[in-house]
Structure 1
Amino acid sequence: MNNRPLFQARWSWGPLAACTLLPAALLCFWLWPFGQALCLSVDEWLFATLNAPLADHTAWRYVWTVGSMRPFDIVVGLILLALLIRGDWVFKAHQVREAFFGFFVTLILLVVIRAVFSKWCDAMGWQHDSPSMVLDHVIRLSDYYPNLEARWELKDRSGKSFPGDHASVLLIWALFMSLFSRRSLQHLVIWALALLFMMPRLVAGAHWGQDDYIGGLLMAILAIGWSYCTPLAAHCTQALLRWTAPLFNLAARLPLLGRLSVVGARAYS
């Protein structure tokens, strides 16, 4: 068994610099008048292409209505978690618990970055309304299903749509999994799922494309860089493995939980 840890307690200066400079470059491009005009042009075309069919295609409207409701986010989270902790897919069974805690640490860092960046956006006046609130001839799901908006939190508009926090979580999951994937099929499945689950907000008009491929992506790259390319993930993961070992040892004795790789397999420590 290869007991080499997934995360190394060292500074990887080259990748860290890339993961810091690339988000800065994305932000500068977005703030550049030409870049902003290009993003807006692409996003208007993208939104019209995705949103217009909602009026005439009932099946298309049903699919994205379900995908735009808050409870569906729970389904998405369970799917992503299941792939993360599935033993011998991307991670070996004995690596799953370490991978889980490493992703957890990276996700916490993303939350911090998101809070700071959002306040900065507010202070700089970079926030904007979603396309469903500013464009003409918009098909709003809430107009078709007004009861779902109140009962199931159907989301098809936002007064503060930048950056795309929903997309940032999907993108950081995809980036994290891609770091350790070794087969083309794995990469294909990972990114297909991430893009698919980003679609509901784009179709419904709750986000512009730039909220995701600029705002969401730059936050995800920053978080993955400052977690994986520094000692942060390594130190925090090893600490969490030690602190939670008694709990997992107890859970491993339970009939169903003990069969999960994240619980029953002996983790590296």
Structure 2
Amino acid sequence: MDKTTPFQATWSWKPFIACHLMALVLLLLWLWEPTRSAMDLFDFSLFSLLNQPLATNEAWRLSWAVASTRPFDLLVGVILLLLLIRGDWIFKATQARAATFGFLCAAVVLVVVRILYAKIAHKLGWQHASISSVAPDAVRLEHFFPQWEDTPFEVKDESARSFPGDHASVLLIWALFLTLFARNALQWVVIWGLALLFMLPRLVAGAHWGQDDYIGGVQMALVALAWSCFTPFAAKGSAALVRWTEPLFRLAAKIPLLNRLSVVAA
């Protein structure tokens, strides 16, 4: 077995099928009227719990307003990347580069799944507006920070098409990907604690319903995980990227500080 990669270039049929079955069950539950009504009630209750304190708590309001901006999304991306490439946490230091490229392959699959799902959802009339546009007592963050509009710090608290939750799907594919290789409960707690925490801003602001994330986002992440990690795609794609980028990493290894990163040193 190649000890520099955590992937195997084989089809894993049981988890591959299981991911698709779970995604299908979630879709059927969402389409069935009784469970859909229960989800709507749950989402309104959750939104009220998270959103209403924005009206009276200034610190709460400012914190979630900042967390609902694009620059904060970039910060989240950096945090997730640093945890991914850190050697001897989830992945061995010698596997950090291959694992990082494997996740990149999973992310590419997720983009394809997201595009196809969005087209299907639009065609079949599954799209809906943000919960902030529907809930009569919604506290809109943009009303408190109008000066942020038309700037990089514009608050994301509304969308005409909020289903499925693409923001959540990125966090979920990251969490599911790392969970495949996590070895203890502490790692699982950190992974899922961060994923859920970083999903909250869109839910607090009302840009997404809960079901956009726990139905749509989970579905997309499961399908993307299946086609990347339970097929040869991640293994072969990662191996090819490792070969193609070897000269670049050889140069990076000569740069102080950079050469201390596991993904470079590997």
Q: TM-score, normalised by structure 2?
A: 0.98
Instruction: Quote the residue 2:220 is aligned against.
Output: 219
- Note the C-alpha offset of 1:150: 2.2
Distance in 1 (CA, whole Å) between partners of 2:142 and 2:10 is 50
Distance in 1 (CA, whole Å) between partners of 2:148 and 2:261 is 36
1:145-224 correspondence to structure 2 within 5 Å: 145-151=145-151, 152-224=153-225
Instruction: Quote the residue 2:233 is aligned against.
Output: 232
Q: Verify: 1:122 aligned to 2:88, yes or no.
A: no
- Note the C-alpha offset of 1:171: 0.4
Structure 1 runs not aligned, ≥5 long: none
Instruction: Quote the residue 2:75 is aligned against.
Output: 75
SS in 2 for 1:234: helix
Distance in 2 (CA, whole Å) between partners of 1:249 and 1:141 is 47
Distance in 2 (CA, whole Å) between partners of 1:232 and 1:23 is 20
Letter paired with 2:103? F
Distance in 2 (CA, whole Å) between partners of 1:135 and 1:216 is 21
- Note the C-alpha offset of 1:44: 0.4
- Note the C-alpha offset of 1:190: 0.6
Instruction: Quote the residue 1:19 is aligned against.
Output: 19
Letter paired with 2:36? Q
Distance in 2 (CA, whole Å) between partners of 1:153 and 1:143 is 11
- Note the C-alpha offset of 1:5: 3.0
SS in 2 for 1:159: coil
Instruction: Quote the residue 2:6 is aligned against.
Output: 6
- Note the C-alpha offset of 1:257: 1.2
2:90–2:183 Cα contact (<8 Å) kept:
yes
Letter paired with 1:62? L
Instruction: Quote the residue 1:260 is aligned against.
Output: 261
1:30–1:214 Cα contact (<8 Å) kept:
yes
SS in 2 for 1:150: coil
Instruction: Quote the residue 1:63 is aligned against.
Output: 63
1:137-152 correspondence to structure 2 within 5 Å: 137-151=137-151, 152=153
Instruction: Quote the residue 1:34 is aligned against.
Output: 34
Letter paired with 1:28? L
Distance in 2 (CA, whole Å) between partners of 1:193 and 1:161 is 22
Structure 2 runs not aligned, ≥5 long: none
Number of equivalent positions? 265
- Note the C-alpha offset of 1:85: 0.5
- Note the C-alpha offset of 1:16: 0.6
Q: Verify: 1:105 aligned to 2:105, yes or no.
A: yes
Distance in 2 (CA, whole Å) between partners of 1:86 and 1:153 is 32
- Note the C-alpha offset of 1:153: 2.2
Percent identical among aligned pairs is: 57
Distance in 2 (CA, whole Å) between partners of 1:116 and 1:89 is 34
Distance in 2 (CA, whole Å) between partners of 1:26 and 1:108 is 23
Once the two structures are superposed, residues 71-124 of structure 1 have per-residue CA deviations (whole angstroms, 9 ceiling, x without a partner) of 100000000000000111111111100110000000000000000000000000
1:131–1:208 Cα contact (<8 Å) kept:
yes
- Note the C-alpha offset of 1:260: 0.8
Q: Which runs of 4+ in 1 moved over 6 A?
A: none
SS in 1 for 2:128: coil
Letter paired with 2:237? C
Letter paired with 2:207? A
Distance in 1 (CA, whole Å) between partners of 2:157 and 2:241 is 38
SS in 1 for 2:149: helix
Distance in 2 (CA, whole Å) between partners of 1:139 and 1:37 is 23
Distance in 1 (CA, whole Å) between partners of 2:185 and 2:148 is 39
- Note the C-alpha offset of 1:4: 6.1
Letter paired with 2:209? W
Distance in 2 (CA, whole Å) between partners of 1:195 and 1:18 is 23
